[in-house]
């Protein structure tokens, strides 16, 4: 099962987005774990992730995290999709990162 990790400041601001992403995954019949964590939990969560998406408020950490974990696909969440809580769009972004 794929593990999609979202990172934000404290893990709270992306909780609604995670709920919508889970609904999108279920609608498409794709089994995966989707969870949000604070940036302070990154080192514990990234190694087991199929991909990592960073919220807009922590996107400036992207390059550093990519250097630390070069084998894990990462990207920042599109600001428009994040602002509109487009769970389907962000889920599709995650699938593209994973290569599906």
Instruction: Give the active site residues.
Output: 8
How far is CA 27 from its chain centroid?
A: 18
Look at residue 2 and give its three-state secondary structure. Answer: strand
Cα separation, 48 vs 16, in Å, equals 22
In the chain, the DSSP E strands lie at 2-8, 32-38, 51-54, 74-76
Cβ neighbourhood burial of 51 (10 Å; 0-12, 13-18, 19+): buried
């Amino acid at each position: 099962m794929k593990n999609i990790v979202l990172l934000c400041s404290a893990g709270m601001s992306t909780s609604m987005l995670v709920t919508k992403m889970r609904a999108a995954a279920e609608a498409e019949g794709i089994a995966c774990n989707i969870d949000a964590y604070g940036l302070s939990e990154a080192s514990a969560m990234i190694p087991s992730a199929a991909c990592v998406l960073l919220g807009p408020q922590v996107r400036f950490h992207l390059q550093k995290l990519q250097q630390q974990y070069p084998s894990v696909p990462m990207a920042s969440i599109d600001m428009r999709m994040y602002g509109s809580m487009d769970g389907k769009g962000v889920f599709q972004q995650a699938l593209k990162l994973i290569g599906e």
